[in-house]
Structure 1
């Protein structure tokens, strides 16, 4: 009784070393927080693991809303200190001192035993509930914050050698491998510390090794074919796979590169009216999840490219951008009107192609105009050439066209093939004199 009375005045840091290890009171999951508790001599001490995806909450809020039955709480922070391990904050609830910073050795001293530690990506509350003092380290699969389950599930709907199955399984393997790498690296950090780890910390889990899928990557054409099949599906599982790829790398391996927003005020432009007039209604399949996470708007399709378009109620449009143009007709001209448009000699009109990591703009010195210059340089030679990525930045192969694309042309400007070739050749001649 005396000890518990003193707990109201003695900060956790000064609790005495117990004669015997403090009895472990088990673990609970409260509002996503995993709370492990010990009944120490001066009262209950609770060690709190925040949710992996949760934001940081003040210790006073935790004390009031999550762990109100403890005499003191210690919370694992997301940051680290060199030679000290992951940071820990403590708070005494009966008479708050702090919050204040403590060390793992402080916590282990008060408990009379090493403290359990779960690496990042292995803090599964259900697994943590099973832990008991003295239990052996378990080997389990690390979990990434991005759920790879839908990718594996949809892959199972196809034969193993189908491009869609191969594409989805590759991305799923990349995700689970990244989780393993992060958990394994998290454990390696401890080996760099100056003091013996075994005295203060017991590793509750280690990650199941996962082979590196980057050693045998799929060809890009297989990936694009696989995603093309997913895009034609109208089930929610396909949408979840599309969302997972967007979260992972922005849809880097999709058959189209990204989206462009056509603003309502540009509705009357001649080039947009021409392009819009050929759009047709289409079933709302998984492609449209790339354009918008919401289900509003009219589902349309460009019949010349097969790419999706959403028409919104305010006359704005969201359109997919091609990676290359599906035509053999040579470039005739470009139109700078809201977006960059390409017209071919047979009269076809397209949104200018782009890669997922770069778009086409003009009128200033920067990335967008530089990428546009390199695109035009390629299209002058091969209209079906893939759009350049940001890897071209720093290259001097299209300097003549860069001077052109950096010009602040008014919207509605048409630049002919002859003008493009003259701009390219003029800088080439200047560079050779």
Structure 2
């Protein structure tokens, strides 16, 4: 299981785990083809010259799992992987109760192997960390094993990661059905958005399903807080509330899907029953949305141009979630050292920063703020004019209606030069980028299709729908070459390739 925490063991550590004498591990490696493979350390040139021998290391979790299934070493292996558990008589386990822990909410179950603690958390390494904490706590010695959720579905139910208090660093995969068999009754399961202490602590065997509210996540809370800074009838407030409602509805849809998938799993051939212990409150859902795209676009333009500090974080969320509602293309960053970028930068107009400038600046310290007076795109220079970078949002269209495309310059991005000697960043769509040069997939077709449209009409609002189908093959081939940065392709070359 890819999410298991790795613990690499040296030879003497494997010998200690399996209680092997001198030379026994070497014989075991020769005789048992199923023993987990080890790997050797990579030695540098100096270490090799000094004659050092590389150490062998083994994945401790794999060795621990192998031992559990070995007739000779089963008592030294993973507790919950012992094959004898599958044939032993089932004893009714006992629910001990809810436990708030440093690794998340947990429930404890008494079994004839000792107490098994189930962590209702998908935090990586949680099982190992909890087992180690319990091993050091003299008052918690009755806990034998800890299981944490992996987040996916295993063969018999929700996938589990196990760790034993006898060997805390060694995590291994545990079957839901095995734990169900140990406790002698179906286990409770909570969907991820309701996996909270205030919800899980309400459960006990035989209790009704808990109906709980979905707590707003950080993004939703940020948007709703920001909405309070605009008047009720402001398009900005409408846009912020609409996105907050959209995010909440998406999370509700995801929760419904999760409950359906995990709830239906016991119908599979190897599925074991589980109890869905909590559901969300459904009254008032889905939350209302705004259908008027013009109002939403106006709202995000207001937020983008705002100088309120409170506009910065929600704008970053909006640019990620609703990029097509802003009148600009994708974020682009180019080196200020290139001759094309330097020439373009000379005609930028300094300005006071807006929320959009703040998002582009990110956490950079030495920044200057500009606007392209022709395309109106926001621009931020990070660092010096010669050694820094230009960060900007690509235009959606070029306003030079009377001009024609003279050439294209391939640098950190695609630049367009018109026959009236102006230079612009290549226009794009909100959620695409203009790639060029050899690469995987259909990388050069974006730029090829944009250039083809600009050759016909320099001021068109470009489209990248089905670019891989529409891009002229000759232009795609031309842009798929490993051109040097700064290469300028004339209109004649572009037309000939097209």
Q: TM-score, normalised by structure 2?
A: 0.68
Matching residue within 369, 377, 380 for 1:300: 369
Instruction: Say whether residues 1:47 and 2:118 are aligned partners.
Output: yes
Task: Measure, in 2, the Cα distance between the counterparts of 1:323 and 1:374.
Answer: 14
Q: Using the TM superposition, give the Cα deviation of residue 63 of structure 1 relative to its aligned residue in structure 2, in angstroms.
A: 0.7
Structure 2 contact 161–172 (Cα < 8 Å) conserved? yes
Structure 2 equivalent of residue 278 of structure 1: 347
Task: Measure, in 1, the Cα distance between the counterparts of 2:126 and 2:238.
Answer: 45
Structure 1 equivalent of residue 108 of structure 2: 37
Deviations 1:115-165 (A, max 9, x none): 221113322333323433333212334468663221222234335554323
Q: How does 1:208-219 map to 2 (within 5 A)?
A: 208-209=281-282, 210-211=285-286, 218-219=292-293
Structure 1 contact 322–354 (Cα < 8 Å) conserved? yes
Alpha carbons of structure 1 residues 103 and 360: separation in structure 2 relative to 1, 3 Å:
closer
SS in 1 for 2:469: coil
Structure 1 contact 141–208 (Cα < 8 Å) conserved? yes
Alpha carbons of structure 1 residues 96 and 296: separation in structure 2 relative to 1, 3 Å:
closer
Task: Measure, in 2, the Cα distance between the counterparts of 1:163 and 1:24.
Answer: 54
Matching residue within 263, 268, 282 for 2:335: 263
Structure 1 contact 227–255 (Cα < 8 Å) conserved? no
Alpha carbons of structure 1 residues 400 and 318: separation in structure 2 relative to 1, 3 Å:
same
Structure 1 contact 359–368 (Cα < 8 Å) conserved? no
Q: Using the TM superposition, give the Cα deviation of residue 168 of structure 1 relative to its aligned residue in structure 2, in angstroms.
A: 2.5
Task: Measure, in 2, the Cα distance between the counterparts of 1:393 and 1:9.
Answer: 54
Deviations 1:56-110 (A, max 9, x none): 216433311367522332222222124x111124344247897554444443444
Alpha carbons of structure 1 residues 154 and 95: separation in structure 2 relative to 1, 3 Å:
closer
SS in 2 for 1:257: coil
Task: Measure, in 1, the Cα distance between the counterparts of 2:172 and 2:341.
Answer: 61
Matching residue within 423, 441, 462 for 1:349: 423
Structure 1 equivalent of residue 64 of structure 2: none
Alpha carbons of structure 1 residues 231 and 8: separation in structure 2 relative to 1, 3 Å:
same
**RMSD after superposition:** 3.9
Q: TM-score, normalised by structure 1?
A: 0.77
Alpha carbons of structure 1 residues 135 and 316: separation in structure 2 relative to 1, 3 Å:
same
Deviations 1:311-352 (A, max 9, x none): 222322222211222443332423415232223455443211
Alpha carbons of structure 1 residues 143 and 379: separation in structure 2 relative to 1, 3 Å:
farther
SS in 2 for 1:284: coil
Q: How does 1:375-386 map to 2 (within 5 A)?
A: 375-386=450-461
SS in 2 for 1:355: coil
Structure 2 equivalent of residue 3 of structure 1: none
Instruction: Say whether residues 1:241 and 2:314 are aligned partners.
Output: yes
Structure 2 equivalent of residue 4 of structure 1: none
Task: Measure, in 1, the Cα distance between the counterparts of 2:210 and 2:427.
Answer: 50
Task: Measure, in 2, the Cα distance between the counterparts of 1:9 and 1:400.
Answer: 63
Structure 2 contact 209–277 (Cα < 8 Å) conserved? yes
SS in 2 for 1:46: strand
Instruction: Say whether residues 1:391 and 2:477 are aligned partners.
Output: no
Structure 1 equivalent of residue 266 of structure 2: 193
SS in 2 for 1:132: coil
Q: Which runs of 5+ in 2 are unaligned?
A: 1-74
Matching residue within 187, 194, 204 for 2:277: 204
Task: Measure, in 2, the Cα distance between the counterparts of 1:9 and 1:263.
Answer: 56
Structure 1 contact 243–289 (Cα < 8 Å) conserved? no
Structure 1 equivalent of residue 22 of structure 2: none
Structure 2 equivalent of residue 153 of structure 1: 225
Structure 2 equivalent of residue 80 of structure 1: 153
Structure 1 contact 146–244 (Cα < 8 Å) conserved? no
Task: Measure, in 2, the Cα distance between the counterparts of 1:23 and 1:412.
Answer: 70
Instruction: Say whether residues 1:287 and 2:356 are aligned partners.
Output: yes
Instruction: Say whether residues 1:137 and 2:209 are aligned partners.
Output: yes
Task: Measure, in 2, the Cα distance between the counterparts of 1:81 and 1:165.
Answer: 44
Structure 1 equivalent of residue 187 of structure 2: 115
Structure 2 equivalent of residue 431 of structure 1: none
Task: Measure, in 1, the Cα distance between the counterparts of 2:429 and 2:417.
Answer: 19
Structure 1 equivalent of residue 45 of structure 2: none
Alpha carbons of structure 1 residues 135 and 337: separation in structure 2 relative to 1, 3 Å:
same
Structure 2 equivalent of residue 373 of structure 1: 448
Task: Measure, in 1, the Cα distance between the counterparts of 2:119 and 2:309.
Answer: 36
Aligned residues: 405
SS in 2 for 1:360: coil
Deviations 1:23-77 (A, max 9, x none): 533220414x2222245566433111225xx4x2164333113675223322222
Task: Measure, in 2, the Cα distance between the counterparts of 1:307 and 1:97.
Answer: 53
Alpha carbons of structure 1 residues 128 and 147: separation in structure 2 relative to 1, 3 Å:
farther
Task: Measure, in 1, the Cα distance between the counterparts of 2:77 and 2:436.
Answer: 68
Task: Measure, in 2, the Cα distance between the counterparts of 1:348 and 1:46.
Answer: 68
Structure 2 contact 119–127 (Cα < 8 Å) conserved? no
